[in-house]
Structure formats: structure tokens, C-alpha cells
Structure 1
Amino acid sequence: MALKVFDLQCEAHHIFEGWFSSHEDYDSQQERGLLTCPLCGNGKISKMLSAPRLNVSHLKKEKQPAPLKQAPKMEATANLNDKELAKIQAAVMQQLRVYVKQTEDVGKQFTAEARRIHYGEAKERPIRGNATPEQRQALQEEGIEVMPIPDFLDENQLQ
């Protein structure tokens, strides 16, 4: 499946990529309020003008990015131009994708498996899967830390 990669920007001027199956998919997700900024959670997202991109990742051998060095201090970012900031944001997004790739996808069994790990009934390991907002809330009330991961960080969701 060919993917459309759009440069998106939230109301707080964070720039990030969005991967969609089509322009219509983007429009549909935008209309349903499903798009949020991965950096601040802002839901007011706009598509930026960008040059066309080709998804040719399948043509080159996968290479692992180097781990990120210490993040720049917040006061230093005020002096960054848009290109430098976009470069840092892209590096952060790539590192997040690496972290997601290192987790085990337990699918719809996420809630049960998270509890089993928390209570020592299963081997401790990083997992990801599907949970409703209510299930995530219940886990957090039990002291089990969880966080939603946007689909665009999971390369398996994009295939």
C-alpha cells in the first residue's frame, strides 16, 4: 500500500509528519477529530505545503538510527530556526519509532497482559496493544502506567 506523508503543524507551531493511506484518509481523520500533535496533544492540526515524497524505504536496507544524545535545553530552542527545529523533531519521531519497534505487540490482550506483568504473573517486558480509554483509565487507577501510542509511530500499522 502506498502511503501519503504530509507535513503537519499544530496550533502551537510544532511540525511533524502524518502518514495516511490517501488524501481522503487525512480529511476523514481531520473531520473526526482524530489528529493530534504528538508533542503537545493539540487537536488543531493543519497540513503544510511540502514537496512530494516517495516511500522507498522498502528499497534500501533498514538502518538503525543512533540513539539520541541529550535533548537540547528548552531555552536553547528559542534560538533555533524552523529547519533546525524540524530536524530535532524528526530525530525525536524516529527515536520514538525505534522504541515502539522494540516492544511486543500483544494486540487486544493488552489490558490483561499489562495486569499480568504488573502483578508478577508474566515476564516483565515492554508491550503495546489495543485498549479503550476506559481500559487505560482502569489500569492507571490500579497503578499501572500506560500511555496511548499514535498509530503512525507503529510501522506495522502502516503496512
Structure 2
Amino acid sequence: MIVFDLACAEGHRFEGWFGSSTDFAEQQDRGLVACPHCGSAEVTKAPMAPAVPAKGNSRPERMPAVPEPSQQLANVPMSPEVKKALAALAKAQAEALKKSTWVGDKFADETRKMHYGERDEAPIHGQASLSEAKALIEEGVPVAPLPFPVAPPEKLN
């Protein structure tokens, strides 16, 4: 996971978490990166202090499903209540994903098939572009974004 400081054309600064620099570029190209304050899609990487990584032999074997309480989750201090709520939300998402199947970039097609009865309904998660998500919503297909980023199974450590 990599964290970038981002800024929109309106000058709002915020943080974004991505699987890699390539993931950021791909999501930006697909219109999936937007300012949480004003919704602007004109987002660029903001200058930031370099992160000094831990020793290579001390990496965890898998990414944690729930952010550790010591991890910085925002660019301003959060109250203990907010930290607790975010941890509970991350835990609930991790539990829900255990019962869900990753369908990758076929998410829009698979969701549409379930909606129109062309395949059995089942919990799935994956990736969809902003235009694909808007088209699904306009068709009345029930979809919702996940609150926290999800790495594809093949990108987990």
C-alpha cells in the first residue's frame, strides 16, 4: 500500500491510498480519483515528505485487513471515537468480503447479469470505472462503493 498526498484544482489537500503508483495512475485515468471536499476530478500528487520504509525483512506476510490504531488515517488529528468507528467499519468490510467473490474488472458485467437474472445472485466485489458505475445506477442495478480500498487477490503479499 502506498499513501499519496493529493491536491485538487480548488486547492484542497487530502490523502489517497493505492496499491502502487501504477494503480494511482490507472484509477486517475479511469476518473476514479476525485476530491472528497468538492468532487473535482482534477487531482494531482502534492509535494510530500519521503517515507522511510522499514527493513525489508520486517514486512508483514499479508496486508492487515483492519488499519492499526497507530496508523495515521487522516491529515488532521482524529478523535478516539472517529478512530474507533473507522476501525469497526474496516472490520465489518473485511468480514463482508470473506463471503464475497472477487470478479476484478468484470464487476459491471457480473452485477448486470445478476440484476437481469442471467446468473445466480451472489455477493461479489471488483472494479468498475466511474462511467460503468454511473451506467449501473441509471439502469437501477444496486451497487455501492466500498469504504476502504481493496487489493486484488493477486496483489496481496
TM-score normalised per structure 2 = 0.51
**Deviation (angstroms), 1:113:** 1.9
Distance 1:5 1:93, change over 3 A: farther
Residue in structure 1 matching 2:151, options 149, 152, 155: 155
Question: What is the distance in 2 between the residues matched to 1:94 and 1:130?
Answer: 25
| Equivalent position SS for 1:54 | coil
| Equivalent position SS for 2:66 | coil
**1:15 equivalent in structure 2:** 14
Question: What is the distance in 2 between the residues matched to 1:94 and 1:50?
Answer: 30
**Deviation (angstroms), 1:97:** 9.4
Contact 1:8 1:47 in 2 (8 A): yes
Contact 1:6 1:18 in 2 (8 A): yes
Question: What is the distance in 2 between the residues matched to 1:30 and 1:116?
Answer: 24
Contact 1:6 1:50 in 2 (8 A): no
User: Quick check: 1:107 aligned with 2:104?
Assistant: yes
> How much is the aligned-residue C-alpha RMSD, in angstroms?
4.9
Distance 1:126 1:107, change over 3 A: closer
Amino acid at match of 2:93: Y
Q: Whose helix proportion is higher, 1 or 2?
A: 1
**1:36 equivalent in structure 2:** 34
Question: What is the distance in 1 between the residues matched to 2:6 and 2:88?
Answer: 16
| Equivalent position SS for 1:116 | helix
**Deviation (angstroms), 1:52:** 1.1
Give unmatched runs, 5+ long, in structure 1. Answer: 67-80
The total of aligned residue pairs comes to: 137
Give unmatched runs, 5+ long, in structure 2. Answer: 68-74
TM-score normalised per structure 1 = 0.50
Question: What is the distance in 2 between the residues matched to 1:33 and 1:138?
Answer: 14
Aligned pairs for 1:3-152 (under 5 A) are 4-10=2-8, 11=10, 13=12, 15-19=14-18, 21-22=20-21, 34=31, 35-38=33-36, 40-45=38-43, 46-54=45-53, 58-59=59-60, 63-65=64-66, 82-84=76-78, 92=86, 95=89, 99=93, 102=97, 103-120=100-117, 121-130=119-128, 133=131, 135-147=132-144
**Deviation (angstroms), 1:33:** 8.7
Distance 1:144 1:84, change over 3 A: same
- Percent sequence identity over aligned pairs: 25
**Deviation (angstroms), 1:114:** 1.0
